Amino acid sequence: MKAKNIEVKRLFGKCPPVIGVPGELRQAIANLVSNAVDAVPENGNITVALHCVREAGFDEVQVLIEDDGPGIAEEHMQRIFEPFFTTKRDIGTGLGLYVAREILERHGGTVTVRPRPEGSPADTAKLGACFILRLPCDPDPHAQESVVSHA
């Protein structure tokens, strides 16, 4: 990040804990941030936003990882979570997004991607990508076993 002079914006709201393996959740998020670092140009921007959302009567922690890189080509959108699929020529194995999705699904969560919307926390530019991670909140946040705060 320093070599490319990337600015990382952190927008962290208050969230309840999630249940999970901290190292695995960190790995999933690190894979997505690493892809964003590869995608953005010098002096680029990455935003990581964290907040709680209520959907269908359940609380979830939502993590948005947005960048102002070139975005994801429409013809690649259906394949980006496949193992060994990559558009990078000299770096990467094509496993980062696949592994992130597998980890999140094992934790009862999801990861999706969309073009970064105008007016998003990252900026108002139309380029870039926005990865959305959702993880279920702990239904009993006062229990001591297996409870982990957001990664």
Residue 11 has pLDDT above 70, yes or no: yes
Boundaries of every domain in the chain: 7-138
CB 61 within 8 A of CB 134: yes
User: For residue range 76-86, what is the model confidence (pLDDT) as tens digits?
Assistant: 889 999 999 88
pLDDT at 146: 44
Could you tell me which residues are beta bridge partners of residue 114?
130
Beta-carbon contacts of residue 64 (< 8 Å; ≥ 6 apart): 47, 48, 49, 50, 120, 121, 130, 131, 132, 133
pTM for this one?
A: 0.82
Count of Cβ atoms closer than 10 Å to residue 61 Cβ: 23
pLDDT at 102: 97
Distance separating alpha carbons of residues 126 and 146, to the nearest angstrom? 40
Looking at 3.40.190.10, 3.30.565.10, 3.40.50.720, 3.30.2130.30, the CATH number of the domain 7-138 comes to 3.30.565.10
Residue in 57, 34, 73, 55 with CA at minimum distance from that of residue 110? 55
User: For residue range 91-143, what is the model confidence (pLDDT) as tens digits?
Assistant: 778 899 999 999 999 999 999 998 765 555 554 455 899 999 999 998 776 66
Region 20-25: mean pLDDT is 95
Count of Cβ atoms closer than 10 Å to residue 12 Cβ: 11
pLDDT at 143: 60
pLDDT at 139: 75
Residue 144 has pLDDT above 70, yes or no: no
User: For residue range 51-68, what is the model confidence (pLDDT) as tens digits?
Assistant: 999 888 889 999 999 999
| Torsion over CA: 132, 103, 41, 43 (sign) | positive
Q: In percent, how much of the chain has pLDDT > 70?
A: 85
- Burial class of residue 143 (count of CB atoms within 10 Å of its CB; 0-12, 13-18, 19+): exposed
pLDDT bin (cut points 50, 70, 90) of residue 147 is very low
Report the phi/psi class of residue 84: left, alpha or beta, with left for phi > 0 and alpha for psi in -120 to 50: left
